Structure 1
Amino acid sequence: MKANPQPTPPTWADKLLTWACASHLHESILGDLHEEFYFQAERIGERRARLRYWREALGFIKPRYIRRQKSPYPATFLFSHDMIRNYFTIAWRTLAHNKTYSFINIVGLSIGLAAAMLIVLYSKDDVSFDRFHTNNPRIYRVANRYMAPNGQQTGVTGISGYLPGPKFAAGVPEIQAYVRLMQEQHDIKTGAGIRSEIVFHTDSAFFSIFSFPLLSGNPATALNNPRSVVISEEMAQKQFGTSDALGKTLTVRTGEKNTGFEPYTVTGIAKTCPQNSSIRFDILMPLVVKPADMERSMNWFNTFLNTFVLLAPGSNLTQVERKINAVYNADAKEAIREVARKYDMRDKKEYLLQPFTNIHLNAGLPPDNGLEGRTNPQLAYILSGIAVFILLIACINFINLTVARSLKRAKEIGVRKVVGSGRMQLMAQFLGESFLLCSAAFALGLVLVQAALPTFNHLANKALAISYLFDIKLMMGYLVLFLATGLLAGFYPALVLSGYSPVKTLYNRLQLSGKNYLQTSLVVLQFAIASFLIVGTLTIYAQFDYLTSKDLGYNDKHLVSVDKQNLTREEAFRLRQELGKDPNIIAVAPKNAGRWNTSAKVNGNTEIAFTIEAVDPEFLPAIEVPVRMGRNFSHAFPADSTHSVLVNEAFVKQAGWKNPIGQIVDFWYDNARYTVVGVTRDYHYTDLNEKIGPQVFTMKHDIPYGRFLVKIKPGTETGSLRHIAATYARLFPLNAYTYKFMDDENLKKYESEAKWKQIMLFSTMLTIFISCIGLFGLATLSAERRTKEIGIRKVLGASVNSIVHLLTSDFLKLVCISFIFAFPMAWYAIDKWLQNYPYRIDISALTFIQAGLLAVSVAVVTVSFQSIRAALMNPVESLGNE
């Protein structure tokens, strides 16, 4: 009988011998075993001889002795140059060899890190708002609040009038300078015609308080001349075709009743305002105040501009506020009495100073009345929470996949321990793999940030740039984020893997302890977050659809709104006649611009606050709002323009009238009493974020028209708009023509909800994607571990469906368990969110069912792909792998 050829020596014999020498184990033991191996290989076969060799060799290595055995390497070798290079080489080979595992972790982490970086950019921009001014923190905005007799605050505003700035600066030594800022819309002559632009009127100290550099011109004197103007470099290019526009003339129409244009000399070209500035101007003109306005004490109660003051270094804010209120109470003493008597005003007015850097993120005193950058402070917290969710899910993927994949590396760990690797060295190796993977994820994350910035800027209403990342403080922050992510993602797997027993690993007896509660808990947490975001997204979509499709109570379709300030009754009559010559024009209805609020008394002394609208008889028919009781205004009744009003149903309800026709609305402060001649149906004259309140319609001449509505026939938009533009240009040649469709304007009122809808959609998609690739990786590793089991089941007659069910059921159970935690939290969160809307959807069980079905469907598709692949594998190959 022919003898077997000499078998290959045991693969790890030399390494075991090296370890034995290092640990002072006698060499003859392994030498004898080595010779025995060749003898047994000829007798019982190489495979069985190899297993017996390992069993005998490891029988001499007691587990207790291994645990106590110290590494032959000195502690300094752990972080030596050679060892770090070794860690890097092994980590690189490991990641390159397991491409699917590496791809899942790198992509998941990069998305999570990109989300975190975007939120850091957002937060940096918010925090840095207005902090570039060198005079900070000594710049304050003058604000005022109203206090009821019982001491409760009834209102607060950052808007002031002409008097506070100069009066406080004259009476309070700590105030070094003041500047007032008022925004207006003015028509400007251009080469092609007339253009309407936003203009800021301000005091000459503007550039001495705020740090807006001039490219040309003297900042100290640029606004001294009433006929001077400072424009931005962008406006200079737009108006003159060059930024070298110093000394050129800008022709502007100013004043409410002025119909002519006046020349202004460009005395300064300002650098374009930063995006993180509450003050953003293109045109600055001197604020000219008549001496009579400064002497009129009633102007203490006019609020239409922003006032800023510069305090001396070291000033005590509390004392300064006490002094400015003393100035106000002394100077406005008679005016306070007059207002209290005439308007029955019982609230006390107090002034306070708001730090300029506090404006941007202040919900109570936000940037308004020309200041920009108004934001919801909660948005930063919510976006940060979403980013943390996404990054957390990516780290969960890393931990789950590394621990699940650890069984495949168990023998490697055992051999490393046998040849002398200590636990710290193993942890350093696995943490090195984690940081290498995080480095790749960070690089890809930067690419994703650059790609996502345009979309993110649109959603967040920002103008962020990738260059913002290369800030020293931000770089330090990202270094901390990198270290935290690497440690968070790699520490636990390193701790678990480095603790494996070498005897069990080399005997192939290692199993994850217990039922692996950590891994299952992390999968549950992962899908709980995903399910939570799915419910939130479905709710926001439903609420947005409700807001944009709900009946407003009037018809805003084919309704064109055209602005025309100070439109007189005679001009409105002529405009209606000229526009009516086109048969496609159905109606023309003038009204006041903006929203006017006031109050009046009913039933004797009951005071009601309401919105007042100046209209004519054509207004209600044009917007298709019916009169429920009484009649509409009519030119046949001359008294309608002097003594009659219409009220809406909300007004009637608040007044408690059963028979509203003939009731009196008493404007006691004007000594005017009006009779109710009709009651209109309630309609949403503002957006659905506000409840329908009392509304009064009047034809009083003292409220000017500021716009007119034109109802056109459907399908005639092009021709009708051309006719409206031509008529406007002929009747008002010195006015800029602008128009908008009312239905488009109504949709713009819900831009915030639309952005939330998109933010939540993108967040949910990212969360589901990261969760799914993690689930796919777990399913892949699960199928690999159960390859032999699957083969045996197929040999015994199991069907593909039963095997797929076997592999998917465990994961689906975890997804379903996640609903137990996600749905109560989601219900609480959306209930709180919906309370912000007076008109809102009801929380429906269907939303949670849809979210659950979506999460389960995504999980089934993800897991089934790998399960079906494993179930279709040839059982001969499956069993042969063992």
Structure 2
Amino acid sequence: MLKNYLLTAWRNIIKNGMFSAINILGLALGLMSCILITLFVREETGYDKWLPNSERVVRMHSAYINLGSQPFLTVRSAGNMMEAVRDYATNEVEQGVRLIQFGASVIQQQDVTAEQVTFVDPAFFNVFDLPFVYGSKETSFKKPLDLVITEEMAIKYFGKTDVVGQTLTVCCAGPEPSELTVTGVIKDLPKATHLNLDLVIFVLPSIIENNPGLSSWTSVNVYTYFKMREGVSIDEFQQRLTYWVDNESPLSEGLEPGRKVSHNMKHKLMPLEDLHLHAKKDAGNLGDLSPLGDASMINAFSVIAGLILLIACINFMNLATARASQRAREVAMRKVLGASRQQVTIQFLGEAIALVFISLLVALVLVELVLPIYNHKH
């Protein structure tokens, strides 16, 4: 019986070749568009979720509010905030780390190459557990100016990845060009991360403390991250942070009675997994470590994907309904020969499922053909 259903369905598809081709191609194009949009949305919403314990990592953003002027927004914070908050909120915070990123030059023989360099605290790899190819997070940061690089940088400057112990001259990680020793090589980071790390240099906290431009309580030159303890919610940590800023921080000293720091200065915590799509509204003119996404755009794309699929399905059903009247004679003949209503229903449903299955296969083939172009453009 099943063999007969399949054979009949195939014969009808072949017999009505033009109709079948239009129906299959229309549904396939709709499915292809929906799949490509879904891949894009999935990538945008999956930023930084691949990092171990990403749900426990947050970043501090700052905002300065003055009456009569636009708020000054930034995803950075003062250099002293990390250590002060970490030591105060010990019940909420497990680790804290600061990132300071700037342009530098890598000098190799006669060549000088511009690169992005990132200064980090000793706890960097405890907050961001990045995968190592050579070295480890326990051995890579033993002394100031130890250097960890990505596989891409290792191949770029040494032609191989096993380069622990090799040196790079960086200008200027200090007052003068410094010869930095590579102590670890990490895997190239996936595209779905807001982190933009190529050359990561370990610096002592005193470097920040002794720099007035970084240590000022109102400076905004540092990216500050915290790894919360298990079971702690971001709301609990936020309340603790706001209380400290208003009542016990150096910022609260000397304020008039009734005035609070938070009236003019906001310190907001944002989950690591939300940064790519939601940090844009906090970034202001200073920008972020990497280009940010837009949550409203992702929502719009999701709606568009649903509409495309709905339109494709409606078109498919309309074409199938248009053909139904032309098959009345076939239905009548089947009933005369003893076919039940259930058998006729199964026959038509089987043909529809066969067309959908073929359309899906065609859509997957089209996705494979378009994907290289899509990835290149994206």
What TM-score, normalized by structure 1, do the two folds share? 0.39
Match of 1:411 among 303, 314, 329: 329
CA gap 1:392/1:321 in 2 versus in 1, 3 angstroms:
closer
Q: Give how far 1:354 is off.
A: 1.0
What is the aligned partner in structure 2 of residue 232 from structure 1? 150
- CA 1:384 to 1:312, structure 2 compared with 1: closer, same or farther past 3 Å? closer
The answer for the alignment partner of 2:193 in structure 1 is 277
CA 1:442 to 1:136, structure 2 compared with 1: closer, same or farther past 3 Å? same
- Structure 1 pair 154–347 and aligned structure 2 pair: CA distance change class (3 A): farther
Say whether residues 1:115 and 2:33 are aligned partners.
yes
Distance apart, 1:334 and its partner CA? 6.8
Mapped contact 1:297–1:335 kept (Cα < 8 A): no
Q: Could you state the TM-score of these two structures normalised by the residue count of structure 2?
A: 0.88
Residue number among 291, 298, 303 corresponding to 2:220 in the alignment: 303
- Root-mean-square deviation (Å): 2.9
Please name the residue that 2:131 is paired with.
213
Cα distance change, pair 457–321 in 1 and its aligned pair in 2 (3 A): same
* Cα drift, residue 199 of structure 1: 1.3
Aligned residues: 369
2:183 alignment partner in structure 1: 267
Cα offsets for 1:343-378 (capped at 9, x unmatched): xx9952132221111111114236975432511222
Matched, 1:187 2:105: yes
Partner of 2:43: 125
Secondary structure in 1 matching 2:277? coil
Using CA pairs below 8 Å that are at least 6 residues apart, which structure has the higher relative contact order? 2
Contact conserved, 2:74 with 2:287, CA < 8 A, in 1? no
In the alignment, residue 127 of structure 2 is paired with which amino acid? I
**Residue 195 of structure 1: how far off its partner (Å):** 0.5
Aligned residue in 2 for 1:246: 164
1:351 equivalent in structure 2: 267
- Matched ranges for 1:654-803 at <5 A: none
How many angstroms does 1:208 deviate by? Answer: 1.2
Name the CA shift for 1:429/1:231 in 2 (closer, same or farther; >3 Å): same
* SS of equivalent to 1:410: helix
* DSSP-derived class of the 1:162 partner: coil
Partner of 1:160: 77
Corresponding letter in the other structure for 1:284: V
Equivalent position to 1:374, from 276, 279, 292: 292
The 1:99/1:336 distance shift into structure 2, 3 A limit, reads farther
SS of the equivalent of 2:303 reads: helix
1:305 partner amino acid = V
Change (3 A) 1:144 1:409: same
State the Cα distance separating 1:161 from its structure 2 match: 2.4
SS at match of 1:432: helix
Retained in 2: the 8 A contact 1:110–1:442? Answer: yes
Structure with the higher helix share, 1 or 2: 1
2:18 paired residue number: 100
Q: CA deviation at 1:327?
A: 3.3
Deviation at 1:187, TM superposition (A): 0.4
1:148 Cα deviation after fit: 6.1
Compared CA separation, residues 97 and 130, structure 1 to 2 (3 A): same
- Asked whether 1:318 is paired with 2:248, we answer no
Cα separation, 2, equivalents of 1:336 and 1:188: 46
Alpha-carbon contact 1:182-1:201 (below 8 Å) kept = yes
Counterpart AA for 1:157: T
SS of 1:361's partner is helix
Q: Who is 2:96 aligned against? A: 178
Deviation at 1:294, TM superposition (A): 7.2
Q: Which residue is 2:312 aligned to?
A: 394
Residue 308 (structure 1) shift: 0.5
Q: Distance in 2 between matches of 1:209 and 1:246?
A: 22
Matched, 1:327 2:244: yes
Structure 1 position 179, deviation (Å) = 0.8
Q: Distance in 2 between matches of 1:442 and 1:371?
A: 40
Query: What is residue 277 of structure 2 aligned with on the other side?
Result: 361
Tell me which amino acid in the other structure corresponds to 2:239.
R
> Alignment partner of 2:54: what SS?
coil
For residues 295-328 of structure 1, the C-alpha deviation after alignment (integer angstroms, 9 at most, x for no partner) is 8997111002211001111224334223323433
Q: Which runs of 5+ in 1 are unaligned?
A: 1-82, 339-344, 462-882
Taking structure 1 as reference, are residues 402 and 358 closer, same or farther at Cα in structure 2, changes over 3 Å only? same
What is the identity, as a one-letter code, of the residue corresponding to 1:263?
Answer: E
Q: Is the alpha carbon distance of 1:130 and 1:240 closer, same or farther for their aligned partners in structure 2, counting shifts above 3 Å?
A: same
2:303 equivalent to 1:385? yes
Alignment of 1:127-142 (within 5 A): 127-142=45-60
Matched residue of 1:406: which SS? helix
- Counterpart code for 2:120: T
Pair 1:434–1:375, CA change in 2 (3 A): same
Cα pair 2:58 2:226 within 8 Å, conserved:
yes
Residue in structure 2 matching 1:448, options 346, 366, 371: 366
Percentage of pairs with the same residue: 30
Q: Runs ≥4 in structure 1, deviation > 6 angstroms?
A: 294-298
- Residue 433 (structure 1) shift: 1.1
Give the Cα separation in 2 of the matches to 1:234 and 1:430: 56
Q: 1:143 to 1:115 in 2, by over 3 A?
A: same
The 8 Å contact of residues 183 and 369 in structure 1, kept in 2 or not, is answered as no
State the distance in 2 between where 1:392 and 1:403 align: 16
Q: Report what 2:8 is aligned to.
A: 90
2:208/2:215 contact within 8 Å kept: no
Q: 1:432 to 1:387 in 2, by over 3 A?
A: same
Distance in 1, matches of 2:368 and 2:203, equals 43
Q: Is the contact between residue 232 and residue 271 of structure 1 (CA under 8 Å) also seen in structure 2?
A: yes
| Deviations, residues 547-598 of structure 1 (Å, cap 9, x unaligned) | xxxxxxxxxxxxxxxxxxxxxxxxxxxxxxxxxxxxxxxxxxxxxxxxxxxx
